[in-house]
Amino acid sequence: MTDADSGSVEAVAAPARPLLNLPGLQIRLRPFRPEEVETAWQGLAQQDEAAHPRRRPEDRRAQPSEQFRRQLHRSGRMWRGRLDLAIDRDGRLVGIIQARTRPAQTLPVGVYEIGVILYQPRDRGKGYGAEAVELLTTWLFERAKAERVQAGTDVGNRAMRAVLARLGFQLEGILRGYGAMSDGTRSDGAMYAVLKTEWDGPDHRPAASDRR
């Protein structure tokens, strides 16, 4: 998770833009509900550091940090270059997906980086993550003026790498020593990306279209 802004939840004035809600075939992307903060925090705590880095002491606490509460309070909207959405399966929270651009991340205009986590092993391998990436990537190209969407993952995360490749993301390189672990070790990352012209092109066939 990236850094959020300071200030209390009560002090945050929600922007007037409508909340994002993206229905799919198996899952739906929607804002987080207030009562889901604890569940979302515990879901992230179960991930290894390659999927969910713990860069600060508050990231390793048993209870959600104030930063995390603010982050989910703003979910469903692009807030200063960051968008957080819950992955919902038949009313059940199964994961989180994010999009980050400037100023939340130092990226050129029109470039977004996405990340996705499914909390429980029982929800993986069923296409939920692939559909979430497909829904959000399509929205970024169609509504957020994205020209490039990229996604990095641990080089050993074969499942995520296969999902990205199947969706049409191209492997652009291996980032050596990219991930920092709390014990001081480093891990390699794999960077994938897709351009708007490729996503809109006639040869692109997203994963969800195979199930229609």
- Among 157, 152, 141, residue whose Cα is nearest residue 206: 141
Number of CB atoms found within 10 A of residue 4's CB: 21
Res 83: pLDDT: 97
Residues in the chain predicted with pLDDT less than 70, given as ranges, are 1-17, 48-62, 205-212
In SS3 terms, the chain reads as CCCCCCCCCCCCCCCCCCCCCEECCCCEEECCCHHHHHHHHHHHHCCCCCCCCCCCHHHHCCCCCHHHHHHHHCCCCCECCEEEEEEEECCEEEEEEEEECCCCCCCCCCEEEEEEEECCHHHCCCCHHHHHHHHHHHHHHHHCCCCEEEEEEECCCHHHHHHHHHHCCEEEEEEEEEEECCCCCEEEEEEEEEEHHHHCCCCCCCHHHHHC
- Among 138, 130, 136, residue whose Cα is nearest residue 208: 130
Res 14: pLDDT: 46
Write down the domain spans for the chain: 22-211
Res 184: pLDDT: 72
**The whole model's pTM is what?**
0.84
Instruction: Please give the single-letter amino acid code of residue 63.
Output: Q
Fold of 22-211: Aminopeptidase (3.40.630)
Tens of pLDDT, residue by residue over 83-103, are 999 999 999 999 999 999 999
Tens of pLDDT, residue by residue over 168-206, are 999 999 999 887 777 778 889 999 999 999 999 877 766
Nearest-angstrom CA–CA distance, 112 and 103: 11
